[in-house]
Amino acid sequence: MTDQNPSNLSALEIKLRERIRQFGPIRFDEFMQSALYDPDHGYYCRNFSEKVGKTGDFFTSVSVGSLLGNLIAFQAWDWSRGQNPENTSSAFRLLECGAHDGSLAADVLEAAQKHTEPSGEWPWLQYWILETSPAREELQRETLISRLGGNSLNTVNWVRSWEDAHKVFEHHQIPGLDLIFCNELLDAFPIRRFKWNSTIQLWEEQCVIWNETTSSLDWGITPGSAFKTLPAPTHAQWLENKNPNAIPDGFIAEWSDEAEQWWRSAAGSLAPGGRLWTLDYGHETDRFWEPARANGTLRGYRNHQYVESVLMNPGEQDLTAAVHFTAIRETGEDLGLITETMSYETQAKNLTEIFKKLWIWKEKQTDQSNTPWANFEWTPKLNRQFQTLTHPEQLGAIFRALIQRKPLES
């Protein structure tokens, strides 16, 4: 074994290699956590503004343009009108998690200013951003100032964690948040991967090792990780009545403990009547067991191109896996949340319903100058954005929506 560092190894590869040499193989979710979120070398912690959009590594619904922000702003405003009557505050508290460079926040606040408050203030809307990275928070601040001016920061609160949010709730006697929104966040949480060994009829958890022969990261099996039943409740329940002999050897099952825990924490931060709303790509449980997903849903992307090996160049490529919507929905329902969307409906249906409500409201208004949203204009540019967001061959079918509401206290 040599301690020399081949020139083709990145700083994060060297860091992971030394960790593995010292402590042994690491679970895949630990590798994914480092690859995406290492403070110095993680994919999402470096030059983030260069990674999104047509010239970056991936394209999101926010990249399409301002329409998504307009629809979120209208839906938030519409919900604010039916807010908990016991909430004496006039502010509707909307928290975004996974705010990236702040573009969606700017789109939402810009729409709120233009269509509900011509004076330039937003007394009905208080925007929160949960951001763990100081560097990304600074980028978000720069975006808001450049788009809306320095005064826009007066209506935005940043918190580092759910714990910090609850401290603010307690200090200001706030009952919680009225809306928590995330776009393509859950698919970026680290996942665990389990591989079916038909010879011994057990699930073995995959890990990442350092291959001294090839001087590269490689797949391995976590020592002592043989499970008769998957340590993933929803998957385990689905498999309960299945014949183990029907599972192909090498079949991969995936699970994100962190995504479920995030949903629990978010649910615990809602005010009575508050909602959790996510747009992301993923499946219900039975879809994960289709033959087409025998190798799992984990993918790596760079420059909009699929990357063959997810272990290559950690920190230099995006890693993502389909959201397990059954597990997320059931997590919320176990906590008493009410699911408002039909199972996991398409983004197309979700956004189309919001647009229909907006347009019906607009058409009913006689005072076009002073009535909120009456001045909303449908332009060719917005029409193109709507087609991209909702067309089944673009983003409309692959992305799904899930909305859950916390009941009002009796």
Q: Which helix (H) or strand (E) holds 277?
A: strand 270-283
When divided into structural domains, the chain yields a total of 1
Cα angle 139, 190, 23 (rounded to 5 degrees) comes to: 110
What is the C-alpha separation between 150 and 143, in angstroms, rounded? 10
Tell me whether residue 279 is in a domain: yes
- Rounded distance between C-alpha atoms, residue 369 and residue 387, angstroms: 28
Domain assignment present for residue 348? The answer is yes
Question: What are the average pLDDT values for consecutive 10-residue runs of the chain, which has 410 residues?
Answer: 64 96 96 95 76 59 94 94 55 94 95 76 84 92 93 90 96 94 96 94 95 95 87 86 87 95 98 96 92 94 86 93 95 96 84 95 80 90 96 91 88
**231: closest CA among 6, 1, 27, 26?**
27
Q: Is there a contact between 113 and 155 (Cβ–Cβ < 8 Å)?
A: no
Residue given tokens 């790509």 in the structure block: 281
What confidence score (pLDDT) does residue 121 get?
Answer: 53
Please check whether residue 34 lies inside any domain of the structure.
Answer: no
In a domain, 254, yes or no: no
Residue 235 maps to a domain: no
Q: Give the DSSP H or E segment for 307.
A: strand 305-307
Whole-angstrom CA distances from 143 to 49, 99, 102, 107, 136 are 10, 11, 6, 10, 10
Residue 91 belongs to domain with CATH number: 3.40.50.12710
Residue tagged 């160049």 (tokens)? 313
- Residue 155 structural domain: 59-187+259-286+321-405
Instruction: Specify if 206 maps to a domain.
Output: no
* Alpha-carbon distances, residue 154 vs 48, 109, 150 (angstroms): 24, 12, 8
Cβ–Cβ under 8 Å, residues 122 and 109: yes
Q: Which residues are CB-neighbours of 239 under 8 A, at least 6 positions away?
A: 229, 230, 247
**198 within some domain:** no
pTM, rounded to two decimals: 0.92
The encoded tokens of residue 186 equal 């859950």
- Residue 153, phi then psi, degrees to nearest 5: -70, -15
Q: Does residue 314 form part of some domain?
A: no
- How many other CB atoms are found less than 10 A from the CB of residue 7? 5
Query: For residue 84, what pLDDT is reported?
Result: 47
Q: What was the pLDDT predicted at 341?
A: 83
| Predicted pLDDT at 88 | 44
- What DSSP element (H or E) covers 255? strand 252-255
